[in-house]
Amino acid sequence: MSTLAAAPASERLHALDAVRAFALLLGIVLHAALSFVPASPRFWFIQDTQPSLAVGFLSFSIHVFRMTTFFLMAGFFARMSFHRRGIRGFIEDRLQRIGLPLVIGWPIVFTAMVVVVIWASRFPNGGPTAGMRNWPPALPNFPLAHLWFLYVLLELYAAMLLLRGLLVRLDASGALRTALDRLFSGIMRSPLAPLVLAVPIGIAFSLDPRWAGAVGVRTPDQSLITNAQAWIGFGTSFGVGWLLHRQPDLLRILQRCWLWNVVLAVGLILTSFVLSGVMTSAPGAPKLPVRAETLRLIAAVLYAPAIWISTFAFIGLALRFMSGFSPTRRYLADASYWLYLIHMPIVMALQVTLSQLDWPGPFKFAIILIAALLPMLASYHLMVRFTFVGVLLNGRRAPRETTPAAAVTGPAVP
Would you mind telling me the total number of residues written for the chain in this entry? 414
Whether residue 120 is predicted with pLDDT greater than 50 in this model: the reply is yes
Q: Which residues pair with 46 in a beta bridge?
A: 126
Q: Which of 37, 76, 79, 88 is nearest to 60 (CA)?
A: 37
200 and 232 Cβ atoms separated by less than 8 Å: yes
Q: Cα(153)–Cα(115) distance, rounded to whole angstroms?
A: 28
Average pLDDT taken over every residue of the chain: 89
Lowest mean pLDDT among 9-18, 335-344, 393-402: 393-402
Q: What is the pLDDT of residues 245-302, one digit of tens each?
A: 999 999 999 999 999 999 999 999 999 999 887 666 544 555 556 677 888 899 999 9
Reported confidence tier of residue 13, pLDDT bands at 50, 70, 90: confident
Q: Is 73 exposed, middle or buried (0-12, 13-18, 19+ CB in 10 A)?
A: buried
Whether residue 400 is predicted with pLDDT greater than 80 in this model: the reply is no
What's the pLDDT score for residue 281? 55
Whether residue 73 is predicted with pLDDT greater than 90 in this model: the reply is yes
Task: Please indicate whether residue 127 or residue 102 has the higher confidence score (pLDDT).
Answer: 102
What's the pLDDT score for residue 134? 60
What's the pLDDT score for residue 408? 32
CA angle 362, 285, 125 (to 5 degrees): 50
52 and 43 Cβ atoms separated by less than 8 Å: no
Q: What is the pLDDT of residues 288-336, one digit of tens each?
A: 566 778 888 999 999 999 999 999 999 999 999 999 999 999 999 999 9
Mean pLDDT of 45-58: 96
58 and 361 Cβ atoms separated by less than 8 Å: no
110 and 29 Cβ atoms separated by less than 8 Å: no
What's the pLDDT score for residue 80? 95
Task: Please indicate whether residue 212 or residue 300 has the higher confidence score (pLDDT).
Answer: 300
Q: What is the pLDDT of residues 21-30, one digit of tens each?
A: 999 999 999 9
273 and 213 Cβ atoms separated by less than 8 Å: yes
Q: What is the pLDDT of residues 172-203, one digit of tens each?
A: 999 999 999 999 999 999 999 999 999 999 99
What's the pLDDT score for residue 129? 81
Reported confidence tier of residue 12, pLDDT bands at 50, 70, 90: low
Q: Cα(211)–Cα(289) distance, rounded to whole angstroms?
A: 20
What's the pLDDT score for residue 294? 87
The percent of residues above 70 in pLDDT, for the chain, comes to 88
Residue 1: which residues within 8 A CB-CB, separation 6 or more?
A: none
The percent of residues above 90 in pLDDT, for the chain, comes to 79
DSSP 171: -
Cα→Cα distances 173→87, 129, 166, 178, 280, Å: 20, 55, 13, 10, 53
